[in-house]
Structure formats: structure tokens, C-alpha cells
Structure 1
Amino acid sequence: MNASFYSGARGMMTEQDKLNVISNNIANVNTVGYKSKSSVFMDLMYYNMHSQDRVTTGTGVRMQHTNTDFSSNGVTGAAEGGFNFAILDQDGFFMLRNQVTNEITYTRAGNFSVSLHNDGYFYLLSDAQKYVLDGNGNPIRYINGELTGRPGVFSFANTNGMESVGSTEFSPVPKNGNPIRVDGANVLDGYLELSNTDMAQEISDTVVASRAYTYALKMVQTSDEIEQTVNGLRS
């Protein structure tokens, strides 16, 4: 009885995790450069039942990690302001540097702005107020009404497993390799990349996950009722 109860409870937790991922995708449907996530699950431990045919039973699943869909959903029309950029190539990221920690992250969101730094210079900054770097990895200044360079574009041998930093930034892991500068990248000025969230798919996934959650909840309730009945017979 405990096995069915805990399997049902684990199912509820798993579907809630999945719903959280879906909710985050929906919440970022209008976020510039957002890349949607999907849940990846793994089986929990199986064990042998006491039977001659060695039947095994599982103990449920749990969410192992999320995968990021780096595909592009196109670009918007001309955006307001003069510091918006969109990478038209499927691969490639803008490189950012944290002003305080110097941590390097990467993004597809090109909604940049210019701001005065305490050294007296204006710099091109990301929406999170991080330096936007050129192809040589240097911060881009704004002097006499012009940028001193263009945002560099960098790619990786593969993007599997890149860690999300906030809504639209990513940090590479060792298996991604070193960043590769993309010379001659197709970057469009005055445009922005859309979120690639597919609302129709997210709504469909919400319905499926909600039903699965309901079934798991019913399993927990039924297991509890049976347990109470058995305990009543013993008394």
C-alpha cells in the first residue's frame, strides 16, 4: 500500500515540476530572446516483487533536468530605440560581462541600451546592465554619438546542457567547449529576436500535465482510503 501511495505522491510532485516549467515558458512568451524549456524525466528505482516470474515494479519518476530549445522563432519589425540587435543565424550568442564579478554569460536578447559608467564613459549594456562585448571581448563604448564597435557573436561546438542564468542568459559548461567568434555574423540592427515559446504547444502540455496530476492525486486518495479500510478491519 505504501508503494502506491508514494508513487502517486511522486507523480504529483513530478507533474507539478513540469507545470512550473510550462508556466515559465508562458510567462516569457513576450520576453525578447527567450528560449523555451522542456522537462526531462528519469525513472526511480525498480524492485522485484516476490513472484516466480520476477515481475518488477517501479517507484515513479522525477524530473532530472530541463532542456533548452535554442531554435529561433524569427525577429520582430523595427524596434524602438537605436541599440537593438538581432542575430539572424540559428547559432550564435552575444557575449556579456558582469560589471562587478566579470562573469561572462551569453544571450540572444539584443535589447541593449547606453548608460554612463563611473569612469565617465558611456557603455553599451544589456537589459541586466551587463557590458556588451565586441568580437575581441572588449566592452563597447558610446562616444560622440557612435558605438566604438559592434556586438560580437560567438558560437559553441554544441549547446547541450548550457546553464540558464536568469531568463535569457546562458553560461557554458565544459562539454560546450570554448566560445568561437563568428566572423561576418548576420546581425540586423534595429530588430529584436522573438521568444520561441509555442503557446499552442504549451497549452496542450498544460492540459496533459494537469490531467496526470489529477490522476496521481486520485491514486494517493484511493491508497489512503484503502489503508484506512484495512486498519479498520484490524481493529
Structure 2
Amino acid sequence: MNQSFYVGALGAGNCTEKFSVISNNLANVNSNGFKPKTSVFSQLVSYNLNDAEDAVTELQAGAGMKVQRTYTSFDTAGLTQTGSTMDHAILEPNAFFMVQDPATGAVSYTRDGHFHRAEREDGFYLMTDAGKLVLDQNREPLKADVTDVDKIQAEMGEEEEEIEEEEEDENEEDKPRVSLYTFANPSRLVSAGNNEYVPVDPGAQPILIERPSMTTGALEVSGTDMAKELVRMIECQRAFTYALRMVTTSDEIEGTINTLRG
């Protein structure tokens, strides 16, 4: 009987954790570049039954379930046009901007490309809303007055010779620019706040994307799907209610048994 109390209370507690994940997704429905998280549950009884017969584990049959982990899918989402040359939208999955905290030097990664020009001691730099410096392909802070390659190509008239254009392009490719990075295993990234991520493995090295797919003058919208999150919330509410009903029923049975004993 005590086991039924435990299973019901464990189920209610884990539903509360899932509620927290859902509420965080809904709270960031308007956050640029936000990627929603998903809770993954593990049934403890199934885990124990699938183990070897002579295995010694802490997971006992009938122990209910628990939140095994939460994962984030870094797929692409829709775009919204802003017209600002400072805004950048990523057009491919598992790609991130590399940003650095100017105070601590800590590096993190984000898909939110809403940048602005900020003045520092030695000039203007491209920064995030959280005050982080945007790093270029050399992992150096990016000057805000860096010439845009696409803009130069658009301004170059058709009267220029093809050879001169090719030489200009070669020179522009070496200039600092907004760059994208990826990881061999993006699922190992964990949230660090402010819509930023850091690798859970200290030794994980970012990989520079040589030909990044992104556009300026637009932002990637939040990946939160309101319909899916509301459905998950209803499911979680039902599960939470059933878990508490198990506790209530077990309490009633215990009360009846104690009355008969008396």
C-alpha cells in the first residue's frame, strides 16, 4: 500500500517538472530564435524488466516513472522581415552564432540574430541584447563597421570588369564577418539563459561553417508551436489529476483498513 502512495506522488512530481518545461516554451513564444524543449519520460518498471535477470539496480518494478531528460531540437523556424542590416537569420539547422561575455570572456552560442551596434573603448562592436560580443570566423569580436560583402557586390556597377570583381571578392572573403558554428553532437548543448547554449562537455569544440546559410534584414522566429504545447499541457494536466487520484484512493483504502482494525 505504501508503494501506491509513492507511485502517485512520484507521478505528480514529474508532471510538475513537465509543466515547467511547457510553461517555459510558452513564455518564449515571441523570443527570436528560441528552440522549445521536450520532456522525455522513463517508465521505471519497463527499465527493470528489460534489464538482465541477475542485474542489481535501484529501479524496482512498480516504482512508476520519472523525467529522464529534456532535449532541444535545433531545427529551423519561420522568418520575420525587419529590414535592419544588423539582424541576421540562420537558415540551416544545428548552426549558431558564437558570442562572448566581455566581462568574463565566457563563450556561448545562440540562434537569436537580433544584434545592435554598441560603442566600446576602441570603437563600435556588434553585440546581442544581453550585451555579449558577436565573434567572427576567427573567434574575435566583430567590429560593427565591418564592410558587408553582399552590400559591396550590390553596389558594384555592371560597368566594372569581371577580373576586378573577382579580385574584390577575394579580398572581402578574408575580412571579418558574421559567422556560424556547429557541433559534432548539438544535442550535448544545454541552456545557459538568455536564449544561449553551452556544450555540456568542456572539451567539445565548435566547428566553423565555411559556407553559412543565413540572411540579413530578418530574424528567425520562436520555434514554439502553440497548438502542440497546449495539447501537451492538457495531457499533463490529466496525468497529474490521475496521479493525485491514486494518492487519494490509497489514503481512503488505508483509512478503511485502519477503521476495520479498530
* Fold in common (TM above 0.5): yes
Q: Secondary structure of 1:174's match?
A: coil
Q: What SS does structure 1 have at the residue aligned with 2:108?
A: strand
Structure 1 residue corresponding to 2:229, chosen from 188, 202, 205: 202
In structure 2, the residue corresponding to 1:217 is in which secondary structure?
helix
TM-score (norm 2): 0.79
The aligned residue for residue 58 of structure 1 is: 62
Equivalenced residues, count: 225
- For residue 76 of structure 2, the aligned residue among 72, 77, 99 is 72
Kept in 1, the 8 Å contact 2:33–2:219? The answer is: yes
1:173 Cα shift?
2.9
Note the aligned Cα RMSD (angstroms): 2.2
**Taking structure 1 as reference, are residues 233 and 47 closer, same or farther at Cα in structure 2, changes over 3 Å only?**
farther
State the 1:43 CA deviation: 3.4
| Paired residues of 1:26 and 1:197 also in contact (CA < 8 A) | yes
Q: % of aligned pairs identical?
A: 42
Q: CA deviation at 1:74?
A: 2.2
Q: TM-score w.r.t. structure 1 length? A: 0.88
3-state DSSP of counterpart to 1:64: strand
Does 2:170 match 1:166? no
Look up the match of 1:86: 89
Which of 150, 166, 178 aligns to 1:151? It is: 178
Which residue in the other structure is 1:102 paired with?
105
Gaps of 5+ in 2: 50-59, 149-174
Find the counterpart in structure 2 of residue 43 from structure 1: 43
Residue number in structure 2 paired with 1:130:
132
Provide, for residues 200-224 of structure 1, a one-character-per-residue CA deviation record: whole Å limited to 9, x for no partner.
1111111111000000111111111
Q: Distance in 1 between matches of 2:203 and 2:112?
A: 20
Q: Match for residue 18 of structure 1? A: 18
Equivalents in 1 of 2:48, 2:39: separation in Å?
Answer: 25
Q: Which secondary structure does the structure 2 equivalent of 1:20 belong to?
A: helix
Given residue 173 of structure 1, which amino acid in structure 2 is its aligned partner? V
- How far 1:174 moved relative to its partner? 2.9
For residue 196 of structure 2, what is the amino acid of its counterpart? E
Greater per-residue helix proportion: 2
Deviation at 1:133, TM superposition (A): 0.3
Contact kept in structure 2, 1:159 and 1:176, CA below 8 Å:
no
Change (3 A) 1:175 1:104: closer
SS in 2 for 1:227: helix
Structure 1, 37-46 or 161-170: larger mean CA deviation: 37-46
Q: Which runs of 4+ in 1 moved over 4 A?
A: 45-48, 145-148
Q: How does 1:203-222 map to 2 (within 5 A)?
A: 203-222=230-249
Query: Are the structure 2 counterparts of residues 63 and 160 from structure 1 closer, same or farther at C-alpha, using a change threshold of 3 Å?
Result: same
Per the alignment, do residues 176 and 161 of structure 1 end up closer, same or farther by CA in structure 2, a change over 3 Å counting? farther
Whole-angstrom distance in 1 between the partners of 2:92 and 2:44: 40
Q: Distance in 1 between matches of 2:189 and 2:77?
A: 19
d(CA) in 1 for partners of 2:88, 2:141? 16
What secondary structure sits across from 1:142 in the alignment? coil
Q: Secondary structure at the match of 1:226?
A: helix
Structure with larger Rg: 2
Give ranges in structure 1 of 5+ residues lacking alignment: 49-55
